[in-house]
Every structure is written in C-alpha cells, then in structure tokens.
Structure 1
Amino acid sequence: MSGDADPRTAGERTTSRARLDRGRGALGPALELVHTGRAPTRAVLTAELGVTRATAGAVAAELEALGLIRVDARPGAAAGSQGRPSHRLEIADEGPVALAAQVHADGFRAALVGLGGRIVATAPGCETVDADPAKVLRSVVEAGAELLRTTGRRCVGAGLAVPSAVAEPDGLALNPLHLAWPVGAPVRRTFAECVRDAGITGPAFAGNDVNLAALAEHRHGAGRGARDLLCVATGHRGVGGALVLDGRLHTGSSGLALEVGHLTVNPEGRPCHCGSRGCLDVEADPLALLVEAGREPGPEVSLLQQANDLLRTQYGDPAVRRAAEALIDRLGLGLAGLVNILNPDRIILGGLHRTLLDADAHRLRAVVADRSLWGQSGGVPILPCTLDHNSLVGAAELAWQPVLDDPLGALAA
C-alpha cells in the first residue's frame, strides 16, 4: 500500500474535524442552557442547539471533561414516558466557582458561586463600611480569598455589586450616596487590583447591585422566561431599578440606565440626596417605612431587616398598616410610570418591596393597573424576587460570562 492517505480515512477525518469545530462553537450555548436550567437532559440539549445527537453528546462530554457539568452515566426515563431515555445533565458538584462580593450601606459580604447560580460558601458579612473604597474592597476580597483557600475550588474570576450606578467604560461609582464614598470612585479598577494582589486568578468586574439582582433573577429566579423584565428593589437604603431586554441586561449607553430611585412620587415629600424632593429613593425605602410608622431606627440590625420585621410582625398595628399603604401607593405610582414607558412583560420586586407585595399584593397591583395605560389593558404580572442574595449571584454572573461565551478559551487562560 502506498504512503498516500486512504481517501475514506481522509474523508472521515474531515467529517470528524468539522463535527469537532461545530461542537466547539456550541460549547458556550450548551453551557448556558445547562447553567440556566433550560437543558436538563441531553435530548433537550440536542433540540435546543439544533444539532445531531452525536454532536450534542460530544459537546456534553467536552463540558464534563472541563469539570463544568456531570452527565448521568445511566440514562433513565420518567415513568410513563415514551421514547429513548436521555442522559441527565447536571452542574458538576466540585466544579469551578466565581468569587462574588457585595458592598451595601450596612456592610459587605463575600461568597463563592458555582454554575447554576449555586452559592457554595459565604463569609460572614461585616457591619461597617469604611469611607475609603480601597480599604473596604481589600477586606471583602481577603474574605473571598480565605473561602477559596478553605474550599480548594478553582476560581474563574470575580464580580462586585455596589449600591451605585457604575459608569462605563471606566467602572466608576457615580452616586454611592449611602456609602460616603467619593463620587466617581474607580471601583472596578480598585477591585481588580485587590483581586490580583490576593493571588486570585481570572478577570474582575463591577456593577450596580440591582442590575446584578435582575440578571440573577432572569437566569435563575422569578424572571426566568421573561423577555422584557423590570426589576425594582430596595437595598439597605434607597431604591434601584433594572431592565432585561430580550435576555440581556440593559444598562444604557454608559451604564446609567434605570435610575428609578429618582422618579418623583410625592412632590411635597422628603428632600432627596439628588437635590429634588419626594423621590422614590426616599419615599419607599426601609428608612421611609420606619419614619412613616413612627418608629425610631435602632443600631442593632440593618434598616432593611428592621423594616421587614416591622411589616411581618406588627402589620396589625394601625400605624404600621398606614405606613405600609403609603409606601405601597408611592411604589405603585412609580411602577405605573415605568410600565407606561417600558411596557415590560413582568415586574419583579426585591428587598422591602417584596415584603410590601407580600403584605398587600392586591393594593399594589390595583394602583399599578389604575395608573398605567398598559396595566388597564390586561395587567402586568408583579412577582417577588425568589433568590437569596441575588445581587451576589448576579455579581458572580459577571465573572461566569467569559466562560459561558467561550468555555475552552476561558478555562485554558
């Protein structure tokens, strides 16, 4: 036999190489499907990707080899189902993690978050926030680094959630009003330096806490399946908003979209930090509820916890009920205006607003329906956020995104 390659072997190699190339191109989309729970089996993965069973099997095997997912070795079918049983696809139990950090008015917290939005470990939160951003970020990163040492997990990167608009492309915190940080603090650069100094591998990102909460809820929580999702939430102080359009977080031309806290909902109301009066930020946050109910805020626990506890344990008190109704009406006015402008297909509420929804969902939905054009045409579902620590999970999503975009490239780096 001559030294020339056999034509059939060459053809088979070409076919195999083409299949491999297609499979590599499908790795990211496949991982995102498993990550968001939309491909629980290899059969669903095949259908969602629009590829052959062989290609889907090769893709799943490659993701398993990367330590990202686990493929059930013995496929099974549900009782009464027909057709070939399919392999289940699950997140790898001991797979890589992202370091997530959150800073808010009453402290900070670090966590390790795996694929699927699963929080693997958390560090106890600090209860005070220094006026120096670098000092705070160094502390929260050190807490995260200790978690990584303890668990021995591989880290793909780090994400930070802050209660401020984060301007792009420089990652500047433009309005950290409740942190006493300087306006324009370079939080992304400072966070990245702290991550690098701690010996943590992977890129570092930063974003607004409510934006990141919306991203997490859209992928893993109450926003799953929504096309145009509006999220409005109270942090420990103030009110924030976020919008997911066609599955992507909408941050505007420079990261500053959806500053809903500065919608006027009570023209004769409290002075706002922005210089206006009666903004949602000061009329529907935890401090506003406590003041409205005639309660003196205490130093023992966060304002958010104090406000939530008041609603959950003393809602029968007439003063508390009146305060809650006042906040619900103001929140409803703000939501109605946003519905008229944005026409979302779902609204989710977090923080104190979730508790207000639990307290009197009928009143809030009625205000939105009565005051909004689209609400009157059929109503917009208003639901509570469902994830614990959704801003932390969203911060981790920033770090996971390069892996979702290109698993082989990101993990080989």
Structure 2
Amino acid sequence: MNGNAATRRVGDVSPRTKIERGRGALGPALELVHTGRAPTRAVLTAELGVTRATAGAVAAELEALGLIRVDSRPGVAGGSQGRPSHRLAVDETGPVALAAQVHADGFRAALVGLGGRIVATAPGCVTVSADPAQVLGAVVDAGAGLLRDTGRRCIGAGLAVPSAVAEPEGTALNPLHLAWPAGAPVRAIFAERVRAAGLAGPALTGNDVNLAALAEHRHGAGRSAQHLLCVATGHRGVGGALVLDGRLHSGSAGLALEVGHLTVNPEGRPCHCGSRGCLDVEADPLAFLTAARREPGPEVSLLQQSRDLLRGEYDDPDVRHAAEELIDRLGLGLAGLVNILNPDRIILGGLHRELLDAGPERLRAVVADRSLWGRSGGVPILPCTLDHNSLVGAAELAWQPVLDDPLAALA
C-alpha cells in the first residue's frame, strides 16, 4: 500500500459513511429543534458536533420529511455583523400525535405537534364511566374526529391516566379516583381502540404526572434541569415524577415516585392505601375545600372550585387558613423528597401551583427548614408553565419513536 492510499484510508470519510452519519444525526437534530435548543443551523452544528455541511444536509432532510422549517434568509438585526445563520423551527403544518387524558372529573383529547404545540382539542367530557373500554373508545373517537376535521397526519397516540402504570404490561394498578377495576389493561384497550379507529403509529400509555414532568422538562419550567422533581395535584390525589438526565425515572416496573403516599400528618385523614395522613388526602383539592369549610359543588371540578376560591376569596380567614395548612403539609412532603432525591429543581402543578403563588415564602421556608440541604442552598421551587401538560406529555410518548429515528418512523 502506498502512502497516499494509507492517508486516504485513515483521514478520509467515504460518501456512504457521510450519508450514514447524517442519517444517524436526524433523530438528535430533530430533538434539538423539538425542544427549542437549536434555533439556528449554527447552534445545531455545534450541538451535534458535525460540519456545517452535514448539519445543513440533516436540516434539509428533516424539512423534506415535513417536520421542520429552515429559513435560509433570516432578517439581520440592526448593527449586527456577519452572515446570519439559517433559522430552524418545527413545521406548524406537519404531522401530529393524538393525545388523550383521563382524570376523575372527565377526559379530553387533543392533537399535539412538534414543539409541544397543541393544534386542536375536543370539548372535554365531565363523566367517566366505570368501564375503561367505553371511556377510552370515546376519547379515541374524539381524537379521530379532530384528525378528520384538520386533515393532519397522525404519527401515533399517547394516553395519560391517573394511576401507576405497571410495566411491561401497561396495566393501571391503582386508579383510586376512578371506578375502574385495579389492574385494568389500559394500554391494550387503548391500542385496540386506536387500531379500530384506523389510526397509524404506536399507542402508548403512562401515568399523568410522569407525563406532565416529561412535558415540562422538554418544553416548560423544567428545561435544563438535570434532576427534576415534579409534584402535582390535579382533580383528586397527589402524584410525583422524577426526570434524570432527560429521562423519566419510573423504577423497575414503572411504579416509582408514588409520592402521594408519604405520611405528612400521622393523625390525619384515612387514606385509600390503608394508611393515614398521606399527601394524597392532605394536600389535594378535596382536602383544601374541606379545610376551607366549603362544600364541593357539582357544577365545576374540585380543582377549578379550589382555584377560584384561592384567587377570589383568599382574604377570607377560612380560605387563608386552609391554604396555609396545605402549604405546610406540602412543604413537609417536599422536604422529605429533597432529602432522598437531592433534585436541582422542583416544579409544582395543579392546585400546588396555586398554593405556591399564594404563599411562596412560606412554602420555601418549610422546605428549607425540614430538609438537610435546604439551608445550605435552597432547591428552586417553580410553578409548572404548560397548560394541559399531561396531554403534551402523552403526545411525547407518541413522538418518541419519531425523535429516535425519523426515517424509520415516518416510512
């Protein structure tokens, strides 16, 4: 072998290798644009660690797939120098995921595009049948109607449920605030209903707070956190989730972070789990209304009734006392979680977001006082920022195969 041949073999990259490398970068590139971390081609080049030509080819292929848009002639800001980089954004007319959420006070379907953008929603139902097949059939039908109305391509479907979802079976182990049987095979039922509706792509299922945390980590208040703890109360009960280095920590069987069953008041209310004084019954909307001496009304959900009370009647002594009581209970629970998990950020959703707004200093003080590390450098506690974050998270389940391998998923 002569020297020139050896040099070519060591230092050169064949056209086939370049193509394979570019295709291997499609998924990472799409995720960067999807999460807003690559607004320009220059940033994409740096994040991927590839040449400018490779980044351009990758962006062009994602654009050809109808997933992103490349603006090759962005405006130049006054006083700026040099040639501006191509701007990258998700294609707002591109495919969507069907997202569905079931909770104690109803269910909702939506279409969600890349970037966590909700394209369309169906009116929510306020009655949940004791038959999961009937409920999931209705929510898929609502989503299929949205797809017909919008004419969008569907890449898959995701479902958020208020229960721990056991893996790998996809069963809802403890739908405590629904009348569903324990162990209902929600993933199999959902997948069958999606297939029956003629929809393409995978049909996946997860716990609602897990999915809310995933959505917030990618598109909301949890961006850039390495160890993100999410605690939320929606319509009933309290849930938690942990995102580590961009991935949900769900434990060995999908059952991790059942934070609702931390005891925060040993002499408190009986809990559905058989214990007493758990977060699940001490810091949810029903607990708040009870502490505020208000009767839960049938006209609106418990969550909405609690929000309205906090926003409109906080000067009422009963309402203020109830808010402070729940803040203290929530703070005790968060302090225990900080001691165990050492997160670098905490985000609060549902009614807990409203409690944070009502008493931010009180909540942070309880957490700092009761946690080992709180006094040496308090963990940031922030409100969730996405509307319908569990729906967006359900869509993330469906989008994940596309983020992993756009060519294969869209073939």
TM-score of the aligned structures, taking structure 1 as reference length = 0.96
Structure 1 residues 2-401: aligned runs within 5 Å? 15-401=14-400
One-letter amino acid matched to 1:192 = A
CA distance in 1, matches of 2:91, 2:273: 46
- Aligned residue-pair number: 403
Quote the offset at 1:16 in angstroms.
2.8
Q: Structure 1 residues 326, 20: CA separation in 2 closer, same or farther (over 3 Å shift)? A: same
Asked if 2 retains the 8 angstrom alpha-carbon contact of 1:163 and 1:235, the reply is no
Classify the secondary structure of the residue corresponding to 1:355: helix
Q: Structure 1 residues 54, 309: CA separation in 2 closer, same or farther (over 3 Å shift)? A: same
Quote the offset at 1:78 in angstroms.
3.2
1:296-315 superposed Cα distances (whole Å, 9 cap, x missing partner): 00000000000111000000
CA distance in 2, matches of 1:240, 1:186: 21
CA distance in 1, matches of 2:391, 2:144: 16
1:49-73 superposed Cα distances (whole Å, 9 cap, x missing partner): 0000000000000000000000003
One-letter amino acid matched to 1:232 = V
One-letter amino acid matched to 2:103 = H
CA distance in 1, matches of 2:305, 2:212: 21
Classify the secondary structure of the residue corresponding to 2:123: strand
Unaligned runs of 5+ in 1: 1-6
TM-score of the aligned structures, taking structure 2 as reference length = 0.96
1:196-241 superposed Cα distances (whole Å, 9 cap, x missing partner): 0000110000000000000000000000010000000001000000
Classify the secondary structure of the residue corresponding to 1:392: helix
Classify the secondary structure of the residue corresponding to 1:70: strand
Quote the offset at 1:19 in angstroms.
1.7
Unaligned runs of 5+ in 2: none
One-letter amino acid matched to 1:302 = S
1:121-152 superposed Cα distances (whole Å, 9 cap, x missing partner): 00000000000000000000000000000000
Classify the secondary structure of the residue corresponding to 2:124: strand
Quote the offset at 1:14 in angstroms.
7.0
* Cα RMSD (Å): 1.4
CA distance in 2, matches of 1:285, 1:248: 27
CA distance in 1, matches of 2:71, 2:148: 30
Classify the secondary structure of the residue corresponding to 1:251: coil
User: How many percent of aligned residue pairs carry the same amino acid?
Assistant: 85
Q: For structure 1, which segment, 334-343 or 66-75, has the greater mean C-alpha deviation from structure 2 after superposition?
A: 66-75
CA distance in 1, matches of 2:178, 2:88: 43
Quote the offset at 1:246 in angstroms.
1.1
CA distance in 2, matches of 1:84, 1:257: 49
CA distance in 2, matches of 1:75, 1:20: 28
Asked if 2 retains the 8 angstrom alpha-carbon contact of 1:76 and 1:87, the reply is no
